[in-house]
């Protein structure tokens, strides 16, 4: 896929499914050797010392971002262990909606949860957060430009019924509302011509900034 996409994509997010398939770090190293940027998205959530050790193992191998998903002490441990990798805190997964938060026992709406976690991430020294585009305007108002905001759940095409992403926005809306980076996976991977789709999205981004 990387070879098929060529220069249409320069930054790759490597997630949990790939980590369980074997060859994860071989691919991390290969991508870095190809001049690509790498985002290790494993959402570390464990006792602080274990998370710190995991983050430490990502230093000095060409990894740009990694994710943590936990409380204050977990985030602080990750930040203390990082060197050249930026630590991003997960706020609320884009597959979650109000009903899901009820099931998990959160007595607040999604927006309030995202803002609370973003403020705590800032206090912990994280470099940024992962947040849906639907919360971007409120998030920028709450933390201004003190955190990078990486926005998944981008759908440049119609959201299909079988898609598990519930809180989605378009490319244009995400950047207009303050995203620093967007994550686009399945719309490219599942396209009849992935390279053509990636190039189309790149053109949309260029136009958004030109406007």
Catalytic-role residue among 36, 43, 86, 166 = 43
Phi-psi bin for 60: left (phi > 0), alpha (psi -120 to 50), beta? left
- Beta-sheet pairing, 181-182 with 148-151: parallel
Q: What is the DSSP letter of 7?
A: G
> Does the annotation mark 166 as catalytic?
no
Q: Which helix (H) or strand (E) holds 13?
A: strand 11-14
Give bridge partners of residue 44 from the DSSP assignment: 68
Range 191-194 contact pairs with CB under 8 angstroms and sequence separation of 24 or more:
194/1, 194/4, 194/5
Question: Within a 10 A sphere around the Cβ of 82, how many other Cβ atoms?
Answer: 20
Give bridge partners of residue 65 from the DSSP assignment: 39, 86
**Which 3 state secondary structure label does DSSP give 199?**
helix
Catalytic site positions: 43
């Amino acid at each position: 896929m990387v070879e098929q996409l060529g220069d249409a994509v320069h930054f790759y997010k490597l997630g949990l499914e790939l980590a369980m398939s074997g060859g994860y770090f071989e691919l991390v190293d290969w991508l870095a050797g190809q001049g690509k940027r790498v985002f290790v998205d494993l959402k570390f959530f464990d006792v602080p010392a274990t998370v710190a050790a995991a983050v430490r193992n990502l230093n000095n191998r060409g990894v740009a971002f990694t994710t943590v998903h936990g409380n204050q002490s977990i985030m602080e441990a990750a930040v203390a262990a990082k060197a050249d990798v930026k630590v991003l805190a997960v706020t609320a997964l884009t597959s979650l909606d109000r009903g899901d938060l009820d099931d998990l026992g959160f007595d607040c709406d999604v927006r309030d949860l995202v803002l609370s976690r973003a403020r705590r991430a800032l206090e912990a020294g994280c470099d940024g957060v992962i947040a849906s585009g639907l919360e971007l305007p409120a998030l920028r108002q709450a933390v201004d430009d003190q955190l990078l905001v990486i926005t998944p759940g981008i759908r440049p095409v119609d959201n299909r019924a079988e898609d598990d992403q519930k809180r989605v926005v378009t490319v244009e809306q995400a950047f207009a509302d303050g995203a620093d980076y967007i994550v686009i996976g399945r719309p490219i991977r599942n396209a009849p011509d992935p390279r053509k789709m990636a190039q189309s999205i790149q053109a949309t981004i260029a136009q958004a900034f030109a406007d």
